[in-house]
């Protein structure tokens, strides 16, 4: 069974250009809480993920905080920005080796649409993600409708 964690970036400041928006102080706190939660799970034996992030500043900041807390490396994927095609991401997932979980740090609507595609078979059936929320999926194959949503966690649940 393959595992995928899909995370939305932390709360970001408004502004333009969109790709340069940074995390707010609250966004940094949200991400830090989620990263600590993940780290505690890894201390109990869960595998460390391979971490990928959108090139947008707020996703990079989010992923850097997670990577530092978890002690894992970070790579950038140019095709996981807000309006990218979830089917293209699913196709990329099919090319990844089995083993360690994959963690994607991206944006709405992509994170919701990708979850909808993988779990329900249709991107428009996706779920809404609060900032810094993480959906955990498992599947034998990353194809439309073939995944199961194992857990959905957002920062407000950790308080």
| Domains of the chain, each with CATH number or no CATH | 2-158 (3.40.50.1240)
Q: What is the pTM of this model?
A: 0.97
pLDDT band at 60, cuts 50/70/90? very high
pLDDT band at 126, cuts 50/70/90? confident
pLDDT band at 102, cuts 50/70/90? very high
Mean pLDDT within 81-100: 95
Mean pLDDT within 56-66: 98
Cα-flanking dihedrals φ and ψ of residue 9, to 5°? Answer: -60, 165
Task: Outline where the chain has alpha helix (H).
Answer: 25-43, 57-70, 86-94, 110-120
CA distance 34 to 7: 10
Give the containing element (helix H, strand E) for 136.
strand 134-139
pLDDT band at 125, cuts 50/70/90? confident
């Amino acid at each position: 069974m393959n595992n995928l964690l899909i995370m939305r970036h932390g709360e970001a400041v408004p502004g333009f250009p969109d790709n340069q928006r940074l995390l707010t102080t609250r966004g940094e706190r949200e991400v830090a809480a989620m990263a600590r939660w993940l780290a505690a799970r890894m201390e109990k034996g869960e595998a460390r993920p391979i971490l990928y992030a959108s090139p947008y500043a707020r996703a990079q900041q989010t992923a850097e905080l997670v990577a530092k807390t978890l002690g894992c490396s970070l790579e950038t994927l140019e095709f996981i920005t807000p309006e990218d095609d979830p089917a293209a991401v699913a196709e990329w997932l099919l090319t990844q080796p089995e083993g360690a979980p994959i963690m994607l740090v991206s944006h709405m609507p992509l994170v919701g649409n990708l979850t909808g595609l993988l779990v329900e078979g249709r991107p428009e059936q996706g779920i809404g993600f609060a900032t810094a929320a993480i959906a955990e999926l498992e599947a034998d194959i990353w194809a439309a409708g073939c995944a199961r949503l194992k857990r959905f966690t957002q920062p407000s649940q950790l308080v």
